Structure 1
């Protein structure tokens, strides 16, 4: 089994990535990391993570799940990324697991995958409006699982978020 993480090139939330990646690795799930560019991505706390793949070159059929990491960088670099929107829609159309935490559920809403679904997000006026515009039913709880979609609202929910992903992947 293999999943694709997507992080922003700057200001991604390290703990959202690190906790989830560690728990998936412990379950022997492989992963790739993609961003808007390859190379070192810098987190909000100064941490670093290598992105080996550009989002524009990622292919849905190569992965069992898509995991979108939040942070301010998700808002600044990923919300309006057309390649990521397309990729997220492809995962949704294929019925594969899509997981998004913090600011990242907006990407799923923008891709049209949250229409009629329950979801949560890091609360801001913009994120709540964009979730609503995407047809999602906002729920103010840490983690929401609705069929193949998992959303989480905050970095402190990272462990629960990862547990929900493992459950959806049957691990």
Structure 2
């Protein structure tokens, strides 16, 4: 049995996150004893979406501006359309994504979240997947794009959609167990 009690994972999200892509991985991590910090652009509750409809809200634990990437072993980025589109316009969020990759830490992005990887300029030469509408952006940024439920390239983990969450969660937990 793997002891995850010392593992610390950062999740970054804002309004418009895909509900299942935040709550599913977060629960899987918390259930095995990982400490999860949810950071956002504001401290007020953020609201997700599910199937294009307004979803559940959650109150962030921290502001993106206060996050120190050195305190975490992994970064998990949920999708949704509005969430990563807003976050990729925030310079500090993009710096954090780049800092995790530069430090060779686990970075896991699902659905539309690879937009943040593209914005941080960290996918050139990497294998990755995403929601279908993001794949051209990934390819244009230099990634080799695959259509698989989870693609692992070193410590970069990407998945396509909510249906892939079980495989995404397994990949993140396996990477943490190796870290």
Gaps (5+ residues) in structure 2? Answer: 1-6
Specify the alignment match of 2:16 in structure 1. 11
Pairwise CA distance, 1:133: 3.1
Runs of at least 5 residues in structure 1 that lack an aligned partner in the other structure: none
| 2:52 is the alignment partner of 1:33 | no
Deviation at 1:166, TM superposition (A): 0.3
Match of 2:76 among 50, 67, 70: 67
Deviations 1:109-151 (A, max 9, x none): 2212211010001111xx2232123221111112111100000
Let me know the Cα RMSD of the aligned residues: 1.3
1:130 is aligned to 137
For each residue in 1:4-29, what CA deviation from the matched residue of structure 2 results, as whole angstroms up to 9, or x when unmatched? 01112x21111111111111112110
Aligned-partner Cα distance in 2 for 1:15–1:160: 13
Q: TM-score scaled by structure 1?
A: 0.92
Alpha carbons of structure 1 residues 133 and 58: separation in structure 2 relative to 1, 3 Å: farther
TM-score of the pair, normalised by structure 2? 0.89
Alignment of 1:11-160 (within 5 A): 11-45=16-50, 46-124=55-133, 127-160=134-167
CA separation in 1, counterparts of 2:28 and 2:62?
21
- What is the distance in 2 between the residues matched to 1:84 and 1:76? 11
